[in-house]
């Protein structure tokens, strides 16, 4: 991986999964800041508040598929419609028991940029970040 990200937003309702995501990302030194939201509605509110204050949005959002209150697909629909995802790469997280993204893909205009299985593995995270996010310009 060529550079650290400024911020990653992890949206997952499972406390144990969120803990493991954070541990993996921190061990990798992949981002200056890791922010968490327990479901899509909380993530939507966080991004809306940031935009209202002209604050930066995360470069990467790791988004669980199945959550209460607002699931990953509902979040993609609403945040995409509100233009809150234009600067963020979206990686949908799925349980390894789900065979393929196509088997669960909802009809939403904003699709995830990539998929990762839970629990996160450092090598897979590195591949996705390198593929989705360009390295920073040389100074």
What is the predicted pLDDT for the residue at 103? 47
CA gap 129, 135 in Å, rounded: 10
- Whether 102 is covered by a domain: the verdict is yes
- Whether 31 is covered by a domain: the verdict is yes
What is the predicted pLDDT for the residue at 110? 79
**What CATH number corresponds to the domain at position 50?**
3.40.50.2300
- Whether 36 is covered by a domain: the verdict is yes
- Whether 13 is covered by a domain: the verdict is yes
- Whether 33 is covered by a domain: the verdict is yes
- Whether 139 is covered by a domain: the verdict is no
The domain in which residue 47 lies consists of 5-132
In tens digits, what is the pLDDT along the chain, a chain of 139 residues?
Answer: 555 899 999 999 999 999 999 999 999 999 999 999 999 999 999 999 999 999 999 999 999 998 999 999 999 999 999 999 999 999 999 886 555 555 455 666 778 999 999 999 999 999 999 999 876 655 4
CA gap 123, 106 in Å, rounded: 27
If one counts the domains in the chain, the total is 1
What is the predicted pLDDT for the residue at 134? 74
- Whether 18 is covered by a domain: the verdict is yes
Provide the 10 A C-beta neighbour count for residue 7. 16
Whether the Cβ atoms of residue 89 and residue 37 lie closer than 8 Å to each other: no
User: Is the preceding omega at residue 119 within 30 degrees of 0, hence cis?
Assistant: yes
């Amino acid at each position: 991986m060529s550079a650290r990200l400024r911020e990653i937003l992890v949206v997952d309702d499972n406390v144990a999964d969120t803990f493991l995501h954070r541990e993996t990302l921190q061990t990798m030194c992949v981002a200056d800041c890791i922010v968490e939201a327990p479901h899509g509605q909380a993530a939507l509110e966080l991004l809306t508040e940031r935009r209202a204050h002209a604050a930066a949005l995360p470069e990467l959002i790791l988004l669980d598929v199945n959550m209460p209150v607002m699931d990953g697909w509902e979040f993609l629909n609403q945040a995409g419609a509100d233009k809150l995802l234009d600067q963020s790469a979206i990686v949908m997280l799925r349980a390894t028991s789900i065979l393929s993204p196509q088997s669960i893909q909802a009809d939403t205009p904003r699709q995830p940029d990539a998929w990762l299985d839970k629990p996160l593995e450092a090598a897979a995270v590195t591949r996705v970040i390198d593929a989705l996010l360009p390295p920073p310009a040389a100074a």
